[in-house]
Amino acid sequence: MTKQSTRYCFTLNNYTDNDIELLRDFYANYCKYLVYGKEVGEQGTPHLQGFFTLKTKLSMPAVHKALGTKSIALLVASGTSFQAATYCKKGQQTKEEWNSLKDSGPNHGLNFKGEEFGSIPSPGKRVDLDLLCEAVEEGKSLLEVSKIHPASYVRNYRGLANLQALNTKPYEHETVRGVYYWGLLVQVNPIQPAVYVLNHYTLNPKANGGMDMPVNHTSS
């Protein structure tokens, strides 16, 4: 099943004015919030660095279809909406400053060029918990989920663990790996002649006067 989400980060290299119009239309029809910043990478490639939250969950193929282009690189957002948005609005702030100080850096937003539509979802228990639940439903491990918002995870870890259990698919395999029998060997042989003793210390015909004893048997 294709994963769905309401929160995506995106990168669009060598964008055109038409690409920007597509983003504006996409926001109007599908999004609660969208932001992008115009940046130039270390190799000199102009690109848009953006983030959006959707009105309803969509898969990546569905987002590409809604945007009308497959050239945009999508990634399900793993942090909070605020973190993703401030990253897109960093402007010409250096990577080193962002990594160490984030939006508290003196150059955050320097010469920012881009657009922002809507409002960033306000932080709070409900929003944080929704974010963690969505991460669980996307298949992230509880360790990964705990790093998104530790405080909310600690308060709600039992419920998140239950949600993960409900979303875990039953184990499936095409071939049977083992069939186990419990009972007398003489009763098992007619069912499966190829059985062998699982524990040779349990069945010892010489020590027991040649009598079959209750043992575990298996077929491979």
52 and 101 housed in the same domain: yes
96 and 45 housed in the same domain: yes
What pLDDT was estimated at residue 204? 46
Residue 87, domain extent: 4-121
117 and 72 housed in the same domain: yes
115 and 138 housed in the same domain: no
From the list 64, 66, 77, the residue with the least C-alpha distance to 130 is 77
**Per residue in 164-219, pLDDT tens?**
888 887 766 666 566 666 666 666 666 666 655 555 544 444 444 444 444 444 44
Catalytic positions, written as ranges: 87
Q: Is the pTM of this model over 0.85?
A: no
8 and 110 housed in the same domain: yes
105 and 27 housed in the same domain: yes
What pLDDT was estimated at residue 90? 96
* Contact of 107 with 73, CB cutoff 8 Å: no
Q: What is the DSSP string of 8-28?
A: EEEEEET--HHHHHHHHHHHH
101 and 141 housed in the same domain: no
**Per residue in 33-57, pLDDT tens?**
999 999 998 899 999 999 999 999 9
213 and 190 housed in the same domain: yes
Given 102, 121, 140, which residue is the final one in a domain?
121
- The answer for residues whose C-beta is within 8 angstroms of residue 198's C-beta and 6 or more apart is 180, 215, 216, 217, 218
146 and 188 housed in the same domain: no
**160 vs 212, residue with greater confidence:** 160
| CATH number for position 103 | 3.40.1310.20
* Contact of 26 with 66, CB cutoff 8 Å: yes
Q: What is the DSSP string of 99-117?
A: HHHGGGSTTTTBT--EEEE
Measure the CA dihedral 50/51/54/58, to 10°: 80
* Beta-sheet pairing, 4-13 with 73-76: antiparallel
**Domains in the chain: how many in total?**
3
Confidence at 133, pLDDT banded by 50, 70, 90: confident
